[in-house]
């Protein structure tokens, strides 16, 4: 595996391998000295053309804890703002001999295109409304920690599906792992043509959150992505919160064992209430913690797995 561009590229075995390696990586977080020699001498560029808090910092921490040299670049502050094309910019970075670029870009498909132009490994850290594979992997890791094997588990993804790359990667990841997925959204935030696609993959669609909540093992609330909305997708924020938000009242509909996820950043009071975000069954901060371990595992598998590990003589994860 050289790139991580889409969850569609990973088999069940490959997903489980990444999640299992992440378990040993997670132990590093609780050590005083958070450093493994695994990626010593490797150079990783975090290239973020869109804003990010957790994805960017957790990829950077992951690289540092594996002893790679990590450098952060944004669109602003690079020659992109002087009019240089994306192709010239990434070919310039590639010519310096870096091993990996972790790319977040507002255009769907940008990381896949960059992979055609460069020799280094490319990780998609979120491309437009397309995919966010490392997020889906960390979500699966977090849910597995609480619920065990996800095969047969019922997971609802709720909210702004139209604009969500997290939902697209999660559907691919969760169905590959054998989970039963239900998508809940108002008609205006359900991507066009979903019906046939969902039916083919055995995915249920619903507009009734109250009916779905009592049947889930996990519910993942998705951020209402106002920055990607050009028109009125719902009448008012208040109406959205009442109909599709995980309110304090709705918390009671969840089975006792069920968990709550949100990829962050959260719009408290809109898709998720403060009570739900801070509830005992909320895994929001567990997701953040898992993000570092899962990203360490991704870097390890892409840069130190089989062939390159043999070259560097450092195949061991921990």
Which x/- pattern over 225-254 shows residues binding ligand NCD (rule: CB under 6 A)? x-----------------------------
Q: Residue 71 or residue 106: which is nearer to ligand NCD going by CB?
A: 106
Rounded to the nearest whole angstrom, what is the least distance from the CB of residue 127 to ligand NCD in the complex?
A: 9
Residue 263 touching ligand NCD (CB under 6 A)? yes
Which x/- pattern over 165-194 shows residues binding ligand NCD (rule: CB under 6 A)? xx----------------------------
Residue 133 touching ligand NCD (CB under 6 A)? no
Q: Shortest CA distance to 183 belongs to which of 192, 171, 172?
A: 171
Give the 3-state secondary structure of residue 96.
coil
Residue 135 touching ligand NCD (CB under 6 A)? yes
Backbone angles phi, psi at 196, to 5 degrees: -65, -40
Residue 75 touching ligand NCD (CB under 6 A)? no
Instruction: Please state the separation of Cα 36 from the chain's center in Å.
Output: 24
Residue 111 touching ligand NCD (CB under 6 A)? no
For 152, counting Cβ atoms within 10 Å of its Cβ (0-12 exposed, 13-18 middle, 19+ buried), the class is exposed
For 187, counting Cβ atoms within 10 Å of its Cβ (0-12 exposed, 13-18 middle, 19+ buried), the class is exposed
Instruction: Please state the separation of Cα 61 from the chain's center in Å.
Output: 16
The annotation status of 148 as a binding-site residue, yes or no, is no
Q: Residue 36 or residue 233: which is nearer to ligand NCD going by CB?
A: 233
Q: Which residues contact 143 (CB under 8 A, 6 or more apart)?
A: 150, 153, 155, 217, 218, 259, 261, 283
Q: Residue 209 or residue 272: which is nearer to ligand NCD going by CB?
A: 272
The annotation status of 252 as a binding-site residue, yes or no, is no
Please give the residue ranges that form the binding site for ligand NCD (CB under 6 A).
Answer: 54-55, 126, 132, 135, 165-166, 223, 225, 263-264
């Amino acid at each position: 595996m050289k790139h991580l561009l889409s969850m569609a590229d990973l088999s069940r075995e490959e997903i489980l391998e990444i999640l299992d390696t992440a378990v040993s990586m997670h132990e590093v977080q609780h050590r005083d000295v958070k450093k493994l020699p695994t990626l010593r001498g490797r150079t990783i560029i975090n290239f973020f053309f869109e804003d990010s808090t957790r994805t960017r910092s957790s990829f950077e921490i992951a690289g540092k804890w594996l002893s790679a040299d990590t450098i952060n670049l944004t669109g602003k502050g690079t020659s992109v703002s002087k009019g240089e094309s994306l192709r010239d910019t990434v070919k310039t970075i590639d010519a310096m001999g870096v091993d990996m670029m972790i790319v977040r870009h507002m255009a769907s498909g940008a990381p896949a295109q960059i992979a055609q132009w460069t020799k280094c490994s490319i990780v998609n850290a979120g491309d437009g409304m397309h995919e966010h594979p490392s997020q889906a992997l960390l979500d699966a890791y977090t849910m597995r920690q609480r619920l065990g094997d996800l095969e047969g588990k019922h997971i609802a993804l709720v909210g702004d599906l139209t604009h969500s790359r997290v939902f697209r990667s999660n559907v691919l990841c969760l169905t590959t792992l054998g989970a039963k997925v239900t998508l809940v959204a108002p008609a205006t935030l359900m991507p066009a043509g979903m019906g046939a696609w969902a039916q083919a993959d055995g995915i249920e669609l619903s507009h009734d959150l109250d009916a779905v909540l009592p049947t889930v093992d996990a519910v993942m609330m998705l951020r209402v992505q106002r920055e990607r909305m050009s028109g009125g997708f719902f009448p008012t924020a208040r109406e959205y919160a009442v109909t599709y938000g995980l309110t304090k009242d709705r918390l009671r509909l969840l089975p006792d064992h069920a968990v709550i996820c949100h990829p962050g950043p959260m719009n408290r009071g809109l898709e998720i209430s403060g009570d739900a975000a801070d509830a005992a069954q909320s895994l929001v901060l567990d997701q953040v913690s898992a993000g570092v371990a899962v990203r360490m595992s991704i870097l390890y598998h892409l840069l130190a797995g089989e062939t390159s590990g043999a070259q560097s003589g450092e195949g061991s994860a921990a």
